[in-house]
Structure 1
Amino acid sequence: MNDQQTGTRPRFEVRARHTGSTVTVYQAYRPEIGRAAARDGRFPSTWSRERMTWVKPSFLWMMYRCGWGTKKDQETVLAVEISREGFVRALRNACLSHHVPALHGDAAAWRRELRRAPARVQWDPERDLRLDPLPYRSLQLGLAGEAAARYADEWIVGIEDVTPLATEIRGLVREGELDRAAGLLPEERPYPLDDEVLAHLRA
């Protein structure tokens, strides 16, 4: 087994709920922002395009990050459906959030690339239903500047408040009903990408 493969899964693989034209990513916000976004299908004016915003194709990694929607200012969990074109564009123009000598050369070159890139990627351990880490990685995609503006204004196809789903699955997990909980999870399949799209993003 090489360092890019863990069991039957590649260590660095994008898995997501997707259709022929869209991919779903997850975010969590305080209710004033999250509920307005779900109601209107776009982020409200209080949502800042000047800050980096992180999106996660993995529902369970989002649950790990927001504590099933219980953490402060992350009480509303959103499933944001965006265009595949926008998602791939962000990946093509992204930089890894940490320095990898084999990819970037010296650290100064990586820092220059990071400053120029409108998006960044980090890979964190995927999570299971108990939110324990798994041996393979989950993509986190940070969008800033032009990428954040395009995300908010061009790429979004729809926004759904999935907080009730998160609460229901969490309840089943706490009751030990793991099979029932798993049956409610969004179906996340390997997302088809040309190898060159991820070549510069594999840590």
Structure 2
Amino acid sequence: MKEFEIRADYKNDTLVVYQAYNKVIAKAALENQKFTAPFSFNRMTWIKPSFLWMMERSNYGQKPNQEYTLALHIKREAWEKALELAILTSPEKRAYPNPKIWEEEFENANVYVQWDPERNIKGTKLNYRSIQVGISRHLIEEFNEDWIVKIEDYNPLVKKILNLTKSGEFEKAKKLLPVEKNYPLSGELARRIGADI
């Protein structure tokens, strides 16, 4: 496993990213198959293709306001557009030999990329990373209207996996995890987001 690579549940045209919300936002999103109030269109929203990283972030839906895990099926072309527009949240030398250029790009960016330690089913940090992508408020309307193909409720799945892990049945829980495989990137795109080529 390379340290910086995207792993995702994807098909020919779509890719799954995860977000966690409270019941009101989640139920409205599921009903309308897009986000509506009280979802905020005035702040950045982060999308994550790693299910286990999302589980770490939301503590399996047990953190306040993160009780509902949504699986957003978004267009692959939109995902790649986001990566093309992205800037890393810090001036990593592997992507930005010149920190001045990073500074200028960061000021004007509409999409941000962060690499966080991936987790296993027990929540242990692994020695490779998982990507999360921040969509700025300037792109949120487009994200909501044009990128999302389908929104699924993963709450029952999250609860099932949580119950199995609580009773120490990790092998059973692992079998329920979404299958995430390496996502192919062009050399140019990989360099832009600091991914391994």
CA offset digits 1:34-67 (Å, max 9, x no partner)? 1111122110132222211000000000000001
Q: Aligned runs of 1:1-203 on 2, under 5 Å?
A: 9-105=1-97, 107-202=99-194
Q: In the aligned structure 2, how far is the partner of 1:184 from the partner of 1:104?
A: 39
Give the superposition deviation at 1:142.
0.4
Q: In the aligned structure 1, how far is the partner of 2:188 from the partner of 2:52?
A: 27
Contact persistence 1:49–1:144 (CA under 8 A): no
Contact persistence 1:103–1:200 (CA under 8 A): yes
Contact persistence 1:129–1:178 (CA under 8 A): yes
Equivalences, count: 195
* Structure 2 unmatched runs, 5+: none
- The alpha-carbon distance between structure 1 residues 136 and 102, as it changes in their structure 2 partners (threshold 3 A), is closer
Q: In the aligned structure 2, how far is the partner of 1:101 from the partner of 1:39?
A: 44
Aligned with 2:113: secondary structure?
Answer: strand
Residue identity matched to 2:122: R
Residue identity matched to 1:86: A
Amino-acid identity (%)? 41
- The alpha-carbon distance between structure 1 residues 106 and 195, as it changes in their structure 2 partners (threshold 3 A), is closer
Q: In the aligned structure 2, how far is the partner of 1:175 from the partner of 1:63?
A: 17
Give the superposition deviation at 1:105.
4.6
Contact persistence 2:18–2:71 (CA under 8 A): yes
Aligned with 1:10: secondary structure?
Answer: coil
Give the superposition deviation at 1:200.
1.9
**TM-score, normalised with respect to structure 2:** 0.94
Q: In the aligned structure 1, how far is the partner of 2:42 from the partner of 2:104?
A: 20
Residue identity matched to 1:197: L
Residue identity matched to 2:176: L
**TM-score, normalised with respect to structure 1:** 0.91
Residue identity matched to 2:50: S
- The alpha-carbon distance between structure 1 residues 191 and 102, as it changes in their structure 2 partners (threshold 3 A), is closer
Residue identity matched to 1:119: V
